[in-house]
Amino acid sequence: MTARAGLPRSLLRVAAAGTLGLLAVGSTVSTGPRAASPSASPPPAGRPCALRAVPGVAMSEGFPDHTLNGHGDEFAPSTGQVRALTLLIDFPDAKAPYSARERYGEFFPAVRQWYARASYGRLDYRSTPVLRWIRMPRPFSAYGIGRGYGWDAHTAMMRDLLGVADAGIDFRGYDLVNILVTPNAGPPAEESVLSVTWTGASAATTDEGARLDKVSLIYGHDQSGFRVLTHENGHAFGLPDLYAADDFPRTDALAGQWDSMSLDWGMQGDLLAWHKWRLGWLTDRQIACDTGRGGRTYTLRPLETPGGRKAVVVPYDATRAYVLEAREALGDDRDACRTGVLAYRVRTDVDSGQGPVTVLDAHPRTSACDFSSGAFNSLNDAPFGVGESGADRAAGLSFTVLGRTAAGDWRIHVTRR
């Protein structure tokens, strides 16, 4: 879940096992009017597949145009050394049941290792923990943290946090702040998922001038394990929610389990190639940009392995593109249900949580690996295998998976009308 000052957001999650059920719903309170969305600017001539972010769209899937969108320091850097300050808090009415070191160990070093694999070593994630419980001055019940808690509750928490911690902790020099809340504060995660990331405005400022403007808070024991934090930090890097925030059952028709920004408990735990390109983990040379008419054959190396061409991007207007990539049961995807060529549509004019990515299902009448989730398994077998074809008439696109090379790469033929 992501929450941005001035941009109301909401969250629905469901259990990974058992019947479909509501676990959480939340939203932020707008701190200002939302401006109308201007038209998308075209991508630069030298990067025709790097669709531009649409101003006014919450966490647009496009590449930022800093002269137009003014992203500035709204999001944390996603390459090089990224420094996170990690704090642990409890409350007078919810005292931590075990040590701060044990709670910290639920997430680290696993989060750092996940980012190292996913980024091919391009993100050096450094967490600096304060390994003691910071007791908040008011009871947890006093903050109104529950389904739909908003900006006022968040700012109250952050200001109270600085009141008890600012004197002893130097907040300067960090790219983002993680707050690991004692898991007994609030309802269990199987009843209500409260974890959230706030970006876009500062909830509080330290005496030294450090702004709490990129903060991920983790509550309870989420079924995602440590990956709930990689999901939340993904928002701090500018990635949107891919599940359907207002109609969560539609998630099966959106991105399924193929990206941790969709279902972070899913079997396919990595990020999509489009996200890796946006974050700077893939170079332009690793993306085949198909803007011409006719047919072309491409060879794709599995996304989970370093090097090689990773995706074919086929733009078909200023805000929409198709992406083809190869997925294998390796690395952060080691528990993947199916392998093959994954095809999906990206829209840069769609808000976070409203379906900015839609996966094309190669096998729409079946699901797979239903043990992975009590629902949301229909896209687990979405990849196209050797000899299978897909098409989108509206986009004028068709493709066929031709086969595998001796090195294990995938060969596909793409045709554009």
Q: Which of 202, 237, 272 is the last residue of a domain?
A: 237
* DSSP assigned state of 356: S
Shared domain check, 329 and 207: no
Shared domain check, 296 and 210: no
Q: What angle, 0 to 180 degrees and rounded to 10, lies between the N-to-C axes of helices 227-236 and 110-118?
A: 60
Q: How many angstroms separate the CA atoms of 76 and 37, rounded?
A: 23
Shared domain check, 270 and 229: no
Q: Which of 170, 203, 237 is the last residue of a domain?
A: 237
Residue 96 CB-half CA count within 13 A: 20
Question: For residue 26, what pLDDT is reported?
Answer: 28
- Higher-pLDDT residue of 264, 340: 340
Shared domain check, 260 and 115: no
Tokens matching residue 7: 């941009």
Shared domain check, 150 and 189: yes
Shared domain check, 293 and 366: yes
Tokens matching residue 413: 């033929």
- CA nearest to 357, candidates 380, 389, 391, 323: 323
Q: Report yes or no on 244 lying in a domain.
A: no
Shared domain check, 324 and 190: no
At residue 403, does pLDDT exceed 80?
yes
At residue 370, does pLDDT exceed 50?
yes
At residue 308, does pLDDT exceed 70?
yes
Contact 73, 22 (CB under 8 A): no
Reported as a single tens digit per residue, the pLDDT across 170-220 is 999 999 999 999 999 998 877 888 999 999 899 999 999 999 999 999 999
Q: Report yes or no on 67 lying in a domain.
A: no
Q: Which of 237, 267, 298 is the last residue of a domain?
A: 237
Question: For residue 8, what pLDDT is reported?
Answer: 29
Question: For residue 42, what pLDDT is reported?
Answer: 83
Shared domain check, 316 and 191: no
Q: Report yes or no on 66 lying in a domain.
A: no
At residue 13, does pLDDT exceed 70?
no
At residue 397, does pLDDT exceed 90?
yes
Contact 404, 382 (CB under 8 A): no
Question: For residue 266, what pLDDT is reported?
Answer: 80
Reported as a single tens digit per residue, the pLDDT across 122-154 is 999 999 999 999 999 999 999 999 876 899 999
Question: How many domains in the chain?
Answer: 2
Q: For the whole model, what pTM was predicted? A: 0.90
Helix (H, G, I), strand (E, B) or coil at 360: strand
Our CA dihedral for 148, 184, 133, 10, rounded to 10 degrees, sits at: -20
- Higher-pLDDT residue of 203, 16: 203
Question: For residue 38, what pLDDT is reported?
Answer: 54
Shared domain check, 412 and 316: yes
Shared domain check, 271 and 226: no
Give Cα 299 to chain centroid, integer Å.
27
Residues 6+ apart with CB under 8 A from 132: 88, 100
Residue 112 is part of a domain; what is its CATH number?
3.40.390
Shared domain check, 90 and 17: yes
Shared domain check, 330 and 303: yes
Reported as a single tens digit per residue, the pLDDT across 51-104 is 999 999 999 999 987 544 344 578 999 999 999 999 999 999 999 999 999 999
Domain residues for the domain of 127 are 2-33+75-237
Q: Report yes or no on 57 lying in a domain.
A: no
Give Cα 19 to chain centroid, integer Å.
25
Q: Report yes or no on 187 lying in a domain.
A: yes
Round the CA-based radius of gyration of the chain to a whole number and report it: 21
Mean pLDDT estimate for the chain: 87
Question: For residue 355, what pLDDT is reported?
Answer: 94
Question: For residue 3, what pLDDT is reported?
Answer: 55
